[in-house]
């Protein structure tokens, strides 16, 4: 019986030694964080944000142009119902408004390709053109009232 106990103890110790000697898989080596890597990631994040901001701005302007297109269609219908003595002049003003709207649409298309400082300058020009279009529309609309 003693031999059996010694044999059992030896097997147990051997099993314990084998299980303890297994090495755990080392964690994958982490690449060190460098200033260059941080700058690159920050630049990529800023670029992604900038692109998202541009897309949202372009959507906003497209919506304003769509609204202006509707207003101009309504204005054209009202001009046709206006007094004959002012219809010719109002039609000319309406055509000028259509040209202004087309110019704003063209600026929006050009804005899509712009980047950096050029984008900001073009955005400001687009804002001004859109504001001028709205003012011209209001002046023409007042003449109909």
Give the residue, 107 or 31, on which the prediction is more confident: 107
State percent of the chain over pLDDT 90: 46
Average pLDDT, the chain: 81
What pLDDT digit, counting tens, does each position of 63-115 carry?
999 999 999 999 999 999 989 899 999 999 999 999 999 999 999 999 888 88
pLDDT, position 97: 96
Query: Mean pLDDT, to the nearest integer, of 52-57?
Result: 89
Most confident of 23-27, 29-33, 111-115, 130-134: 130-134
Burial class (CB in 10 A: 0-12, 13-18, 19+), 133: buried
Burial class (CB in 10 A: 0-12, 13-18, 19+), 23: exposed
Rounded to whole angstroms, the maximal C-alpha distance in the chain is 128
Residues 6 or more apart whose CB falls under 8 angstroms from that of 100 comprise 129, 132, 133, 136
- Run of H or E residues at 34: none
pLDDT, position 53: 87
Answer yes or no: is pLDDT of 1 > 70. Answer: no
Query: Mean pLDDT, to the nearest integer, of 24-41?
Result: 64
């Amino acid at each position: 019986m003693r031999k059996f106990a010694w044999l059992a103890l030896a097997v147990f110790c051997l099993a314990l030694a084998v299980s303890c000697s297994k090495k755990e898989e080392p964690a994958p080596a982490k690449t060190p964080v460098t200033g260059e890597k941080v700058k690159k990631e920050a630049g990529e994040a800023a670029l992604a944000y900038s692109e998202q901001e541009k897309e949202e701005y372009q959507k906003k302007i497209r919506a304003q142009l769509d609204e202006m297109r509707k207003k101009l269609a309504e204005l054209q219908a009202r001009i046709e119902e206006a007094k004959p003595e002012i219809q010719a002049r109002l039609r000319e003003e309406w055509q000028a408004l259509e040209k202004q709207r087309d110019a704003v649409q063209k600026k929006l298309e050009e804005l899509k390709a712009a980047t950096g400082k050029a984008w900001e300058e073009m955005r400001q020009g687009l804002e001004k053109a859109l504001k001028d279009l709205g003012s011209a529309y209001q002046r023409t609309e007042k003449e109909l009232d």
